[in-house]
Amino acid sequence: MLPDAYLLEIVSTAWKIIATAGFVIIVGRLAWSAGPLLTSIIVALPVNIGPGLFLISLTEDSVFIVESALHGLAGGAAVSIFIVSFVRAASFTKFYIALSVGLICWGLASWFILDVNLTIKKALILVTIGILSAYIFLPRSSRKTERVATPASWNFLFKRGVLAGVIITSIVLGAPFLGAAMAGILLSFPTTLCITGWTLQGHYGIEFVAVTYRAASRALILYFAFCLGVIFLAPIISGPLAIILSFILVASLGAVFGYIMIRLGRGVYG
């Protein structure tokens, strides 16, 4: 039985890495044709906290899941701060410095959130502050981003995708041992934004990343909707089912937003 258990754990870990890597690779490839605005919708989907919470829900009760989702919701405010900090820094410095500035600001905001005795009301207040910060401090840009001549190579994307898979899987595997609050904060960490941004800037440039992040600040509504769905549904139905239904809902909303943007000619280059 013991070897079988180890084999199951190895297969489960490999699946998480492959699934996450596949997402990053697909986003990186689609970015060339989709443009930064449509790419931002894909990046803003809860592909980090969604699968993470689902895997945790298989071993933890609904109370743990709701607490994690509540801190994940508040953690979205820290993600907004990360985006604002990165985009502002990206206007006058290089990618890695801008990313470092964004992550430092995310860390400070997350530290504050962990120190708060969170309720749904307090979490929503923090989310509102994050949204307003993005609206006020993010620069406006009417200039269109030019498409590069060729899409990123599969080899280029594969290396970054595998790294993303390893990082996100490590967070998922370690989160349950750190408690519900820390699990929610770690799962709200902008891993997908960071890795996708790193992937995109290597081929499409920092301006493409900045435009994608600016648009992602608005698309974060999908992330917030997912967390709220889990918070309200998990006490009523099973945790895994609440997470699945919430993810389907926000994925459907994302598809609608993407379709509208394409119809309006705003989601792609033009």
pLDDT band at 208 (very low <50, low <70, confident <90, very high): confident
Instruction: Show me where the domains of the chain are located.
Output: 2-264
Mean pLDDT of 223-250: 90
3-state secondary structure of 89: helix
pTM here? Answer: 0.80
pLDDT at 149: 46
CA distances from 60 to 119, 175, 193 (A): 20, 12, 27
* Residue 251 neighbours by CB under 8 Å, 6+ apart: 45
Q: Answer whether residue 110 shows pLDDT above 60.
A: yes
* pLDDT given at position 152: 54
Q: Is the pLDDT of residue 46 over 60?
A: yes
* Structure confidence at residue 1 (pLDDT): 42
10 has pLDDT over 60: yes
Cα distances from 59 to residues 54, 180, 184, 239, 259, in angstroms, run 9, 12, 15, 10, 37
For the residues 22-47, what does the mean pLDDT come to? 65
Count of Cβ atoms closer than 10 Å to residue 10 Cβ: 10
What's the angle, vertex CA 216, arms to CA 17 and CA 195, rounded to 5? 30
DSSP state of 144: P
- In the chain, % of residues over pLDDT 90: 25
In sequence order, what DSSP letters do the residues of 181-220 get, joined into one string?
A: HHHHHHHHS-HHHHHHHHHHHHHH-HHHHHHHHHHHHHHT
**How far is it, in rounded angstroms, from Cα 224 to Cα 69?**
10
Instruction: Pinpoint the alpha helices (H) of 45-153.
Output: 49-57, 62-90, 95-114, 120-137
- Average pLDDT over the chain reads 78
